[in-house]
Amino acid sequence: MLELSPEQINAFNEDGYFVFDRIVDDPTAERLREAFDRLFRGEFETGVTPDEVNWQEGTGDPTLTRQICNGWRADRTIAGTVLREDFGRAIARLAGWPGTRIMQDNVLWKPASARPLGFHQDSAYLSWFQPSLMMSLWIALDDTSVEGGTLEFARGSHRWLHGEPEGEFHGPKQYKKYMERAAAAEGVEPEVAPVVVAKGGGSIHHGWTWHGSGDNNSIHPRRALVLHAISSEARFVPENLAKGNGPIYSRFKRLADDEMDENYFPILWTEDGRRTSGLDEYLAVGA
């Protein structure tokens, strides 16, 4: 169970992120790595294709980080982790939300020699729903290192001015460029901290915290599973559906209202004890 102490909450509020030595155990990490193999081969256990498939075996650029979004729809092993109730409770506590729903997951695989991921702020892409804050739980499935291009945070950057999306995300030549520009506008020297943890460790970060990762200069892959969570009360903003990654996820908007359909953005936990009906039945199939 993921539980947060008052000290951890205070550290998160100060830095915009918090690093955990352990989030999932070794057997879970191994099962998730096996699920990664299936997904990137194009094997979707549920028969449902993920919402975004940005790399597939045999056709993907070997120098880029492999990415699939919403693997939970395609593979119940992924779903069993990103839909955990205790994750939803912990994130809601940090964000001050009455509950938590999943906006998407990221299945990330950075192979040896892969290029960087540009520094960015997640919430800059999310004006298509409100409240647009997103909180992210990042789980390392390999031991991480600076040499291996691990996740990096700009400490305290969630308190900087909120910007618009800028620059290239996959493989930029100067992956810290826009973060450093934002820091200069704040009149601060950015303090960049890498997430160095063993397999099964990870972090939670605020949606306005600048983060990215450098080249993988090691001989090992760097795999990670990410839960991107939003408030249980989030709703679509129709006039902004064409912005950020709204064009991808606005197709799930219902015809008659702006509510976010729980079939596509299920609720993990609420303070009054609610969780999307059918989640546990979905996870139990084939268990």
> In the predicted model, is pLDDT for residue 37 greater than 70?
yes
> In the predicted model, is pLDDT for residue 261 greater than 80?
yes
- Boundaries of domain holding 143: 6-284
Where residue 238 sits, what CATH number does that domain have? 2.60.120.620
- Whether 240 is in a domain gets the answer yes
What does the pLDDT read at residue 4? 94
- Whether 45 is in a domain gets the answer yes
Alpha carbon of 102 to those of 92, 145, 186, 187, 227: distances in Å?
A: 11, 28, 32, 35, 7
Token pair belonging to 98: 């009455």
Please indicate whether residue 199 or residue 61 has the higher confidence score (pLDDT): 199
- Whether 80 is in a domain gets the answer yes
Phi and psi (nearest 5°) for 223? -105, 145
- For 283, residues 6+ apart whose C-beta sits below 8 A from its C-beta are 76, 79, 80, 83
For residue 107, list its beta bridge partners: 68, 225
**To which residue do tokens 């980080």 refer?**
65
Token pair belonging to 240: 């902004």
Number of domains in the chain: 1
Alpha carbon of 146 to those of 16, 151, 156, 194: distances in Å?
A: 20, 8, 20, 7
What does the pLDDT read at residue 131? 96
- Whether 183 is in a domain gets the answer yes
**To which residue do tokens 């064009």 refer?**
247
What does the pLDDT read at residue 61? 80
Residue 96 identity (one-letter amino acid): G
> In the predicted model, is pLDDT for residue 255 greater than 80?
yes
> In the predicted model, is pLDDT for residue 287 greater than 70?
no
- Whether 150 is in a domain gets the answer yes
Q: Residues 143-175, buried b or exposed e (16+ Cβ, 10 A)?
A: bbbeebbbbbbbebbbebeebeeeeebbbbeeb
Q: What percent of the chain has pLDDT over 90?
A: 87
> In the predicted model, is pLDDT for residue 66 greater than 90?
no
- Whether 115 is in a domain gets the answer yes
pLDDT confidence of 59, banded at 50, 70, 90?
Answer: confident
- Whether 209 is in a domain gets the answer yes
Instruction: Name which of 149, 144, 141 is nearest 81 in CA terms.
Output: 141
What does the pLDDT read at residue 163? 83
pLDDT confidence of 97, banded at 50, 70, 90?
Answer: very high
- Whether 1 is in a domain gets the answer no
Whole-angstrom distance, CA of residue 67 vs CA of residue 103? 16
What does the pLDDT read at residue 62? 79
- Average pLDDT for 207-221: 95
> In the predicted model, is pLDDT for residue 149 greater than 70?
yes
> In the predicted model, is pLDDT for residue 146 greater than 90?
yes
In sign, the C-alpha dihedral spanning 147, 144, 57, 64 is negative
Most confident of 47-56, 159-168, 183-192: 183-192
pLDDT confidence of 142, banded at 50, 70, 90?
Answer: very high
CB atoms within 10 A of CB 11: 15
- For 181, residues 6+ apart whose C-beta sits below 8 A from its C-beta are none
pLDDT confidence of 219, banded at 50, 70, 90?
Answer: very high
Q: State the average pLDDT for the chain.
A: 94
